[in-house]
Amino acid sequence: MTSLFFFLFLLGVLKSTLSEQCACATSNVHVRSGPDTHHAVLTTLTINSCLPHKGSSGGWQHVDYHGRDGWISAKYVVVKACSSGGSNPVIHAGGCPRIISRSEWGARSPKSTHRFHGPAKYAFIHHGESGSCHTQTECSKIVRAYQNYHMDNRGWNDIGYSFLIGEDGNVYEGRGWTHVGSHTQHYNSVGFGFCMVGNFMNRVPNAAALAAVKSIIACGVQHGHLSTGYILKGHRDVGTTDCPGNSLYHLIRSWPHYS
């Protein structure tokens, strides 16, 4: 019995040690959904950013990308001890967050589209003034409701926002970087609209949502969609509305680029 206990203890220590290995980028590199270049890009991991390491296969490193299997070419990463503990110890700092595609959240096809000619000058923060969500299933349902309201009640061509951010920590693709939105009157062709899913009159979004919205904005700058000198505003700064809610508005006024 003592020997069995000791064996299990050692197994647990070994498992814990292995879980603390991270794959860290030596240059900006894509994280893909499979171990080959024909697989979809999940995100771009920036230099010195890390993800939990799960193993190796050929010339690819297997990583944990927010609970999803990701693969990075071994040429561009080094596997080493993580800088902090936990089951998901290192979050990529400068890369793009996980973006739930339109097909993943069940979007309707737009009635028409208009190409966005960037880089954009403005980033506008909104809130949906709705219930909150903390899982992909819940958030997808609310995002679909937003789209239905925008298309069926307001008569718009599509969901109005460029991106939507849930308290599950995911970013949901609206009109994206490449199409003009319907989020901020008079500014749609020169700015992107980032909508926090929920009502933030009396509270701020949770840490996961705040990290995600900052990450998607940084991603826009990194890939040339947003100007490096972009101006951050709340919806109420340019319209007669209480959006993005009193508490969230007070918070974003302390963020870089707010004007």
Query: Could you name the CATH architecture of 99-252?
Result: 3-Layer(aba) Sandwich (3.40)
**Full-model pTM:** 0.67
Residues 13, 15, 19: CA angle, nearest 5 degrees: 115
- Tell me the chain's radius of gyration from C-alpha atoms: 20
Predicted confidence at residue 46, as pLDDT, reads 67
Among candidate residues 59, 63, 75, the one with its CA nearest the CA of residue 33: 63
Of 49, 63, 68, 76, nearest to 19 (Cα)?
63
The pLDDT value recorded for residue 137 is 95
Banded pLDDT at 162 (limits 50, 70, 90): very high
User: Per-domain residue ranges for the chain?
Assistant: 19-95, 99-252
pLDDT, tens digit, 9 for 90 and up, residues 189-206: 999 999 999 999 999 999
DSSP state of 98: P
So what's the pLDDT on residue 192? Answer: 98
**What pLDDT, in 10s, does the model give residues 229-242?**
999 999 999 999 99
Local confidence band at 9 (pLDDT 50, 70, 90 cut-offs) = very low
**Which CATH superfamily is 19-95 part of?**
SH3 Domains (2.30.30.40)
> Is pLDDT at 17 greater than 80 in this prediction?
no
Which pLDDT score, from 0 to 100, does residue 7 have? 47
